[in-house]
Amino acid sequence: MPIEIERKFLLANDRWRSEVIRHTSMRQGYLGAPGGKASIRVRLEARRARLNIKSAVIGDTRDEYEYEIPLAEATEMFDNLCIGRVEKIRHYIERDGLTWEIDEFLGDNQGLVVAEVELEQQAQRVPAPPWLGREITTDPRYYNHSLSIKPYRSWHAH
């Protein structure tokens, strides 16, 4: 069974921007409301599309399945079937042998910037870059599926 081990953090400052090696725009939509056993997402980026299914558990380790799908079909799903959507720019940073993905959210989630890092093992040490802020791995409000239903801009206090 494919497993994703991922930790999420807020950013302490903008110094990460000078380390970005590439970026891509993403649109993703969810095929169902939070609360089930799985989160099912359609992601469109550039000329690629993927269907992603993750177990709906809180924490750093989740079952994950991901499949490339035809862009035209993904666009139809995104436009006609998704109940929640998220738009973001994903920036990539290579540092200390890890690939950091910095998601800069747009639209109703504008103002939110989250750093994610995928790990090989749960106990793997994560050297903290100077731009890294508070860990939010176990805070479900920051999960993309949650943000698609209750956007960051709708929160009363940040």
Active site residues: 30
Strands of the chain, DSSP E: 3-11, 22-30, 38-45, 48-55, 61-68, 84-95, 98-105, 113-118, 132-135
Alpha-carbon distance 32 to 117, whole Å? 26
Alpha-carbon distance 125 to 7, whole Å? 11
Place of tokens 């139809």: 76
In 3-state terms, what secondary structure has residue 131?
Answer: coil
